[in-house]
Amino acid sequence: MKKETGDLILKKDNGYKGLKADKNKKIFDFAVGYKKFLDVARTDRETIEQLIKMAEKQGYVDIKKVKRSSKGVINDKFYIVNRNKSMAIVNIGKRPLTDGAHVLLSHVDSPRIDIKAMPLYEEGGLGFFKTHYYGGIKKFQWISCPMSLHGVVILKGGKKVNITLGDSIDEPAFMLPDLAIHVSGKLQGERKYNEVIKGEELNLLVGSIPAEADEKAKDKVKLNILQILNKKYGIVEKDLISAELSAVPAMRTQDIGFDASMIAGYGHDDRACVYTTALAAFEAKKPEYTTIAYFLDREEINSAGNTSATSLFVSDVYENILAFEDENGLYHRLRKAQSNSKAISADTTEAYNPTWKAVFDTHNVPHINCGVTICKFTGAGGKRESSEASSEFMAALIELFDKSCIKWQAGELGKVDEGGGNTVARYLASYNMDVIDIGPACMSLHSPTELISKFDLYSSYEAYLAFLNFKGEFNL
């Protein structure tokens, strides 16, 4: 059959073009909720805290409270939390789990500046915290701007103190000071680009007033800071050793552009996917297949650790659901359930930036406003360490998105042998699941302020929801 020219050529255009007013309103309204979420979910722990609140509002219960009857589980919507830093939101489907689940996995961690175990010192009459940056960052981007402090400190006796300080304009924030251009020409000017600021130069300024103490007392500024910490939180210096404290950019999430079409904020990677997958999971009412939305930690440092995508927590969630059905033959049923599962690694990728077009393959780069990005494979240099979705799985998803009128685009991260990066897709693939990377494209990834399009954010939500609600067989 002869095809029309329009069908032969793949079109890619701006999603706002010709958009109906009611859809436009939906997109902008959706962004309002997201911006609020991003302003309060500043760390892995805070993101999990928010997700629990959101899930409970939707009628989900902690797995420990799930009620059972002789016919099975009474609560078919529940969540499982792992060490306050990762979790899964489960919605039991009509089919048994051994038919496979529809899995979404996003990560709750974002690049940040972590505080070292013995952080506090005084030098030059100023008090500082030593830090160790977390994740892949251009260190020079993170200095000379207000930073807020977040985390937990466990006091002697086990009392946990939550710290959130510096996000509000009424609260003091912190700063990683730089050198003026007037004096840094020789020292910094001759360094390579990512050594302009070195790791050990990321010292967080935390105070400058000396304590009223004996004339001979040393480090009076440090002493004064410890006095404040003790008065406000009950902390002594020893407590800082086991503390988990991070400095993150103290900025509000804000619309960008005269048309307010985009959003600047800290942590779009990957909290844009956290938010959109969570909302999709809540919206998928009674799905055909059980849906599991994972929210895992430590992706930015290659998924090492017991709250990451390499943790057996991924399997523990399956085992818990399977045990609700039947305690027998767990291992065999686990393998069947996982290998029949279909998964989306929900993560962001870098969008085309015309100022630096040289780093992109312009034929294969995602563009802002052109819809959710589907990435067949990640990795770099000869597709090394990449997971790759099969043609069958990817084609089935594209057909699903087309039928659901969801705007999508294909995209890769930078040029061959120049760009690249990895996601959790390969860890999910190791369970013999079908998995693909799908998420919104951002600009300025891993900088203190990342940029996302409201249209792409909403398309991502639509794509995740269509996937969770898909009733048919993928026939792979």
Residues that bind Zn ion (CB under 5 A): 269-270, 347
Shortest reach from residue 423's CB to Zn ion, in Å: 7
For residue 17, what are the CA distances in angstroms to 12, 40, 106?
A: 11, 32, 29
Q: Is 357 exposed, middle or buried (0-12, 13-18, 19+ CB in 10 A)?
A: exposed
404 vs 400: CA distance, rounded Å = 6
In the complex with Zn ion, the residue whose CB is nearer, 338 or 422, is 422
SS3 123: strand
Q: Which amino acid is located at 81 in the chain?
A: V
Q: How far is the CB of 300 from Zn ion (least distance, A)?
A: 7
Residue nearest to Zn ion (CB): 270
| Nearer Cβ to Zn ion (107/454) | 107
Nearer to Zn ion, 46 or 347 (CB): 347
**Residue position matching structure tokens 């079908």:** 434
- Give the residue carrying structure tokens 């004064």: 224
Shortest distance, CB of residue 136 to Zn ion, whole angstroms?
10
Closest separation in Å from C-beta 442 to Zn ion: 9
State the nearest-atom distance from the C-beta of 272 to Zn ion, in Å: 9
Is the CB of 167 or the CB of 269 nearer to Zn ion? 269
Alpha helices in 42-141 (DSSP H): 44-57
Which residues make Cβ contacts (< 8 Å) with residue 175, sequence separation at least 6? 143, 144, 145, 146, 147, 204, 205
The 3-state DSSP class for residue 371 equals coil
Residue 173 or 273: which CB sits closer to Zn ion?
Answer: 273
Q: In angstroms, rounded to a whole number, what is the distance separating the alpha carbons of residues 28 and 24?
A: 6
User: From CA 245, how far away is CA 248, in angstroms rounded?
Assistant: 10
Q: Is the bond preceding 239 in cis, omega lying within 30 degrees of 0? A: no
- Are 199 and 74 within 8 A, CB to CB? no
Report the residue number, 239 or 270, with the smaller CB distance to Zn ion.
270
Q: Is 248 helix (H, G, I), strand (E, B) or coil?
A: strand
Considering the complex, what minimum distance in angstroms separates the CB of residue 274 from Zn ion? 10
Give the count of alpha carbons within 13 A of 314, CB side only: 28
Provide, rounded to whole angstroms, the least separation between the CB of residue 385 and Zn ion: 16
